[in-house]
Structure 1
Amino acid sequence: MHPKKQIDFVKKKIKQKEQPYYQAYQVLIAEADSALQAEDHALADFNVPGYYRDALAHRTNSKSLQTDAFNAYACALAYQLSGKKKYADKSLDFLMAWANKNTKYSNADGSLVMAYSGTAMIISAELLYNYKGWQKKDKEQFMGWAKNVYRKSADEIRNRKNNWADWGRLGSILTAYLLDDKAEVAENIRLIKSDLFHKIAPDGHMPEEVKREANGIWYTYFSLAPITAASWVAYQADGTNLFTYQENGRSIKTALDYMLYHSQHPDEWKWFQNPHPGKPGSWPGNLLEAMYPIYKEEKYNAYVKEARPLYYPTHHFAWTFPTLMKPFLTFD
């Protein structure tokens, strides 16, 4: 998710105190400093019932992983950008708490929530992979958890029709990249290509996601966030450029444009009256902030510029620090 060229590029911007990078870095450090005081919430069984069956247990157990994953990510990224070992060591505390305690996920939403929240754990491990303070035995323990628990949850859902598959593929390709499993990287790219133009209609709407009544714009975002993040990982892994992949006018960009337009004009959303449109400083702002460097689309920039620096610290982790860690296809 964060190649060395990107990290070196951002470190240079921070050293020069160039905005908005420097302000975004200060936000990251504040979050990492807060995480230094936090304890883990690892669960042996990540048991997440369906939201509409038991909302309290769904939220409580989901938050255990979401909080720890974000803290691990913030600390791992802070270590890479600052070089301070205290952040790496704290990130490892969160990673190893789950690797040592968590052995399974369960119930109706266990696989999905682990897939979309645990992405940050895998990204953190990638950021810390060469950290000398990560003991070999502990690293092997974490890689076992990543393969046998986390990736299992992702692979279990990656053939679904809607956003479940998208989060499954992101989790699976992240883990495959971490484990240097080239065959599984290729398989996830194949899966993305196999149904991208079923997921995206000619006008840009996403048929499986607009069904979700007032939350149709949210679910469109919730599908595009992992699709674009998995496409970014694919590009880093073997140079496959899914951002320009298109067929009969259908592409990731047409879906992004459709989502943005209706976020700004929710009254024109034909799928349900009064949909929730999101905000520049939250979703879909974080996604559009990430996609602006990819597509150089000025309307994406115009939508988010007053909300910078953007970061998304909760629930799911695809484009978590998009102002700080901009995904350029080339870093000059």
Structure 2
Amino acid sequence: MNPTVTIPSSNLAPNSGFETDPTVDYFTHGNGTFTWTTDAANNGNSSTKIVSSQPAGSYARWLSKTDIISGQANNDYSASVWMKTINVAQYGMLVINFWDESLNYLGGYESDKSMTGTSDWTEVTVQGNSPSNTSYARIEFRLYGPGELWIDDVNLSLTKTIPTPVPSSTPTPVPTATPSGYTSDHPGMYLNANEIDAIIKKVDSGQQPWKEAYDKFMNEDVPAALNTKIQSVTYGGKVPPSGDIHDYFSETPYTSDGVYNPYADKSDYYGAIAVGKAVRNLGLAYALTGENKYADKAVQLINAWSVNPETRMNPKFTDFNGQSYVEIPITLTGMFYGADLIWNYQGWNVADKNVFKSWVGDISTSRGRSKESTPTNYENWKVLFVSSSAVITGDNNDMDWAFQYWKELVPIQMDEKGQMVNELRRTRSLFYSLFSINAMTQTAEIARHRGIDLYNYKTDDGRGLELAFDFHAPYLAGKENWPYQEIRPDLFEYATFELAHSFKQKPSYKDVIDKAGRPVYEKRTMGPVTLTHAK
């Protein structure tokens, strides 16, 4: 074994002792109270602090600004910090992660989870190797679950382990931690770059059904998206009960189950529909054509809704007068899809993009990670919202939570036939059954792009997406009569079966598509699914 020499760099962490205002170099994310405090310090007079009553599974964090620490590719990094805890139900954690020149997340490393309960100042460390295209390094100090966490004396350094020249020996590799999480390449939510290239080739060669779907999309949907007015929750509608016009407010949509109230104030909901639909269509148009005008318009809509201080929506779910939690997931997931498709557009201001990422993380966290005892379609859309927001934020913990909860919901919501049992009591039982399956399928599509196969996931007794597809297909195709109450038999979720057919080319799935008639359109989040996912 060759002897080695390890050469550490100086401390790369800005304001490492937090003796001056940390908000110059660091920012915060999550639900909690974030302070620069003198009530405890490992050294000097000051530290940073997080106090949170967040539920288990959620986390709050201080983070170095993403572009403030220059990174070097293919280097070993070492980070340490001193932490103190009081009544921490889960744990405190140190994280280092890496970003490319366009601020795309490349992966990261997490410390162990030993900082739990009540502990005096303790050093926490983590090591890892930077990817080949690293331009920036970021350090994070996370509090998982409720409790109090102090942070002080952070150190980040890079090292090179250089073997000394002993001719007959072979250097021993220096072990590093295993990167956590999934690829965070953009685009990568429902489509990746290779899939987009394949669509373009099919359209260019006139292949059907892609050419017809493309023409309809570019001639009808895209011009409408370009003409979409700037949307904001601050424009019109009633003032929310909070008195803050930046809060999302939407009156309850129903007079009874499945029966709409035509007099409800839905201004913010209609605005969310418009911005989600337009940003998605503009993002897809940019991905397929490369024309900047589509990305420019998408950025304008994103900034008005979530970035500009005068017009942005407060990044949180609100609960005024029983308003529906499902409205935000079924609309803004489309905005995330479009943002993912334009992510690498050079005309998107980096500072605005970072504000948007923070906004997405905040609104996702605000929904909480509680689990309903009798889950309905709301829970499926919550899972989709968390996983789609994690595409934007690069938050692997949220992605893990979403995929795990998706699996937990299958045996609770689905019986051995494939029926969505918690929807069968509804007056629109078939519609809401398909509404649940739609969200489950979209989450499976996000998982597929991260190497996780939820399409083929089955419980021990065979429950899973395929069973749900198989059970519902004959009713949608008109081959059997639905045996439960359905007061609106003219409004169904056919588009899900374009993805089902993409997953497995069963004739029963194609029967549903034929009944609907191509090109099929998923009206909430995914848009022209025949164009993007047909087989």
State the Cα deviation string for residues 71-101 of structure 1 (Å, max 9, x = none): 1110110000011100011111111111121
Aligned twin of 2:444: 231
Q: Secondary structure at the match of 2:422?
A: coil
Scaled by the length of structure 2, the TM-score of the pair is: 0.56
Aligned twin of 1:45: 247
Does structure 1 residue 80 correspond to structure 2 residue 291?
no
Does structure 1 residue 183 correspond to structure 2 residue 363?
no
Q: 2:302 aligns with which of 88, 91, 95?
A: 95
The 8 Å contact of residues 474 and 508 in structure 2, kept in 1 or not, is answered as no
Partner AA of 2:214 in structure 1: Y
The 8 Å contact of residues 111 and 153 in structure 1, kept in 2 or not, is answered as no
Report the CA distance between 1:124 and its aligned residue.
1.1
The 8 Å contact of residues 262 and 268 in structure 1, kept in 2 or not, is answered as yes
Instruction: Give the whole-Å Cα distance in 2 for the aligned partners of 1:50 and 1:167.
Output: 18
State the Cα deviation string for residues 256-305 of structure 1 (Å, max 9, x = none): 22222223459743332x554456xxx32211112101011112112213
Does structure 1 residue 10 correspond to structure 2 residue 199?
yes
Instruction: Give the whole-Å Cα distance in 2 for the aligned partners of 1:141 and 1:16.
Output: 40
Describe the shift of the 1:216–1:186 C-alpha distance in structure 2 as closer, same or farther (beyond 3 A): same
Instruction: Give the whole-Å Cα distance in 2 for the aligned partners of 1:179 and 1:49.
Output: 30
Describe the shift of the 1:119–1:260 C-alpha distance in structure 2 as closer, same or farther (beyond 3 A): same
Describe the shift of the 1:55–1:98 C-alpha distance in structure 2 as closer, same or farther (beyond 3 A): same
Partner AA of 2:339 in structure 1: A
Report the CA distance between 1:134 and its aligned residue.
0.4
Report the CA distance between 1:145 and its aligned residue.
1.6
The 8 Å contact of residues 158 and 166 in structure 1, kept in 2 or not, is answered as no
Scaled by the length of structure 1, the TM-score of the pair is: 0.89
Q: Secondary structure at the match of 1:111?
A: coil
The 8 Å contact of residues 204 and 257 in structure 1, kept in 2 or not, is answered as yes
Instruction: Give the whole-Å Cα distance in 2 for the aligned partners of 1:154 and 1:105.
Output: 6
Q: Which runs of 5+ in 2 are unaligned?
A: 1-189, 234-245, 256-260
Instruction: Give the whole-Å Cα distance in 2 for the aligned partners of 1:170 and 1:266.
Output: 30
Instruction: Give the whole-Å Cα distance in 2 for the aligned partners of 1:2 and 1:130.
Output: 14
The 8 Å contact of residues 498 and 534 in structure 2, kept in 1 or not, is answered as no
Partner AA of 2:533 in structure 1: K
The 8 Å contact of residues 222 and 281 in structure 2, kept in 1 or not, is answered as yes
Does structure 1 residue 311 correspond to structure 2 residue 521?
yes
Report the CA distance between 1:312 and its aligned residue.
3.1
The 8 Å contact of residues 434 and 493 in structure 2, kept in 1 or not, is answered as yes
Q: 2:380 aligns with which of 136, 153, 166?
A: 166
Report the CA distance between 1:45 and its aligned residue.
2.1
Partner AA of 1:269 in structure 2: W
Aligned twin of 1:220: 433
Report the CA distance between 1:121 and its aligned residue.
0.9
Aligned twin of 1:131: 345
Aligned residues: 318
Q: Which has the higher strand share?
A: 2
Q: Secondary structure at the match of 1:50?
A: coil
Q: Which has the higher helix share?
A: 1
The 8 Å contact of residues 217 and 276 in structure 1, kept in 2 or not, is answered as no
Describe the shift of the 1:88–1:17 C-alpha distance in structure 2 as closer, same or farther (beyond 3 A): same
Q: Secondary structure at the match of 1:325?
A: helix
Aligned twin of 2:90: none
Instruction: Give the whole-Å Cα distance in 2 for the aligned partners of 1:27 and 1:126.
Output: 23
Q: Which runs of 5+ in 1 are unaligned?
A: none
Report the CA distance between 1:133 and its aligned residue.
0.5
Does structure 1 residue 242 correspond to structure 2 residue 444?
no
Q: Secondary structure at the match of 1:167?
A: helix
Instruction: Give the whole-Å Cα distance in 2 for the aligned partners of 1:286 and 1:221.
Output: 10
Partner AA of 2:395 in structure 1: D
Describe the shift of the 1:241–1:164 C-alpha distance in structure 2 as closer, same or farther (beyond 3 A): same
Instruction: Give the whole-Å Cα distance in 2 for the aligned partners of 1:56 and 1:127.
Output: 36
Does structure 1 residue 22 correspond to structure 2 residue 211?
yes
State the Cα deviation string for residues 12-38 of structure 1 (Å, max 9, x = none): 112212111111112221311122122
Instruction: Give the whole-Å Cα distance in 1 for the aligned partners of 2:440 and 2:411.
Output: 12
